[in-house]
Amino acid sequence: MAGLDLSPGLWLILVALGALVGLDGISWPQLMISRPIVAGTLGGLLFGDPAAGFLSGALLEIVSARHPPYGAARYPETGPAGLVAGAAYANAGSAAGLLPLITVTLAGWAIGWIGSHSIQLQRTFCARLVGDTEAFGGDARALTRRHRLAMRLDAARAAFITGVLVVPTMVAARVAATFATPTRAHISGALAAAGIAGLAGVGARVLGGRWRGWPVFAAGALVGAVLAMVVA
Amino acid sequence: MIGGGIAYALWPLLARIHAGDPVALRGALERHASAFNAHPYLSSLAVGALARVEYEEHAPETIERFKTALRGPLGAIGDQAVWAGWRPFCLLTSILAFCLGLDARAAALGFLLLYNTGHLSLRAWGYRRGWREGLNVGGVLARSPLKQLASRLLPVNQALMGAAVALLLTRLPIEARAPEAIAGALLVGFGAYFLPSHGAVLAMSLLFGACLAWII
């Protein structure tokens, strides 16, 4: 892990943070430190570049905006995904160009869905655990034990996902960073920008529900473009 | 889903109400540990109201019917007001602030402060109103400003999403920052708005394509 600048101590901190953001996403306290912009910034901070972590988190927010957690819908687990993506992008070096950023965004998207499936498995297990009323028998101590066990399982699940997937994601981002001077950078850049904007369009539509607010979305984009020019 | 949590939250009160009657305590705990689902923040309203009806010693059948009646509205209103309204509003505001030059740590911290001011206020309001209203908590939900908040934030969030993506594109590494690339991207975003299912597949394909175009 030396080539990645990832010491065992730093890896352990990442795993602990993974447990924390995983726990926050579902079990407790849902303060939204599990959102990619926060988890990503934390990941970036560990490698000295919080802005890189925030940027990768913001892209993950756009990518996951079309999967709101309504009703029984499945949605990606954003905590460990954002943390890993932010850490991997900051580790690769935000000056390395667009490819590492897109790589960690896609990796974060995949990790989010792996997390989502692991949550389904855990929920099935927890439903059996609590649903077994004969073994439970209304005993307050059994209820407390089960409640705490479910939370520990959630933290362990998220820690495992973070611990296992952070190294491959970092390796992928580092490999992507070696393509720092590509010959077709403008084509890739245009494709990536179009992909991100497309996902934002879908996300805006999903956010609106039945309400069709395309003029508002277009007006927002126009104002954003003008602001971008002013700021530049 | 959160039945175990509801029972866990009610347990101290149930233990006081049924002190000296372990059979009644077990019955009450079993009743509340059964399947229940609601929006996690608005479950505080359910906990407060259930605590009140247990305190007033209503019949178990009444409590069961009450719990069943609460599930739908708590889930639907919470999803709209928080997941579709307040959370995207805070997230997008924070992303905008970052794109306009705010430090990443300050933007992330600002998001947490703004979001949790609303979040924790909602939880506290839920406990208080639930306990005060008991069985009449349905009326509180119908009169609450949460529905209005959700409907008012819909257009705001869509506008913020448009502004955020336009600004975010200018914060990307240099390869994606050409004005013609950004203008083309915004047109794609606009098109994807009208064809969400195809647009999502196309947009993800474009992201994968960006990597492939680089490598090939």
Mean pLDDT of B27-44: 87
Cβ-based burial of B216 (10 A; exposed 0-12, middle 13-18, buried ≥19): exposed
**Which is more confidently placed, B152 or A95?**
B152
Closest CA to B195 of A205, A59, A65: A205
Q: Residue A103: CB partners within 8 Å, gap ≥ 6?
A: A172, A173, A176, B211
- A56-77 pLDDT, tens digit per residue, is 999 999 999 999 888 778 999 9
pLDDT bracket for residue A207 (50, 70, 90): confident
- A106-119 pLDDT, tens digit per residue, is 999 999 999 999 99
Q: Is the pLDDT of residue A94 over 80?
A: no
pLDDT bracket for residue A135 (50, 70, 90): low
Mean pLDDT of chain A: 89
Largest CA distance in chain A: 68
**pLDDT number for residue A137:** 63
CA–CA distance from A166 to each of A1, A114, B37, B85, B156 (Å)? 11, 13, 33, 32, 36
Q: Is the pLDDT of residue A181 over 90?
A: no
Q: Is the pLDDT of residue A134 over 70?
A: no
Of the residues B175, B177, B195, B201, the best mutation for testing chain A's interface (the one with the most A CB atoms within 10 Å of its CB) is B175
What is the distance between the alpha carbons of residues B86 and B147, in angstroms, rounded to a whole number? 12
**pLDDT number for residue A78:** 95
- A100-124 per-residue burial string, b: 16 or more CB within 10 A, e: under 16: bbbbbbbbbbebbbbbbebbeebee
Q: Which residue of B has its CA nearest to A26?
A: B40
Of A69, A186, A191, the CB nearest to B206: A191
B85 token code pair:
């309204």
**pLDDT number for residue A89:** 96
Of the residues A143, A153, A212, the best mutation for testing chain B's interface (the one with the most B CB atoms within 10 Å of its CB) is A143
Q: Name every chain A residue with its beta carbon within 8 A of the beta carbon of B161.
A: 65, 200, 203-204, 207, 217, 220
**pLDDT number for residue A4:** 75
Q: Which residue has the tokens 């034990």?
A: A145
- Partner-chain contact A191 B98, CB within 8 Å: no
Mean pLDDT of A196-212: 88
- Partner-chain contact A207 B158, CB within 8 Å: yes
Residue A26 in contact with residue B105, Cβ under 8 Å?
Answer: no
- B78-112 pLDDT, tens digit per residue, is 999 999 999 999 999 999 999 999 999 999 999 99
Q: Residue A25: CB partners within 8 Å, gap ≥ 6?
A: A34, A77, A78, A79, A158
Tell me how many degrees the CA angle B35-B3-A151 measures, rounded to the nearest 5: 125
Q: Which residue of A has its CA nearest to B10?
A: A140
Give the rounded distance of the alpha carbon of A152 from its chain centre.
21
Of B158, B168, B208, the CB nearest to A208: B158
What is the distance between the alpha carbons of residues A139 and A51, in angstroms, rounded to a whole number? 49
Q: Is the overall model pTM greater than 0.90, yes or no?
A: yes
Q: Is the pLDDT of residue A1 over 70?
A: no
Count the alpha carbons within 13 Å of B67 in the hemisphere toward its beta carbon. Answer: 23
- Partner-chain contact A216 B116, CB within 8 Å: no
**pLDDT number for residue A130:** 67
* Torsion of the alpha carbons at A227, A205, A109 and A38, rounded to the nearest 10: 50
**pLDDT number for residue A2:** 44
**pLDDT number for residue A86:** 97
pLDDT bracket for residue B131 (50, 70, 90): very high
What is the distance between the alpha carbons of residues B195 and B190, in angstroms, rounded to a whole number? 9
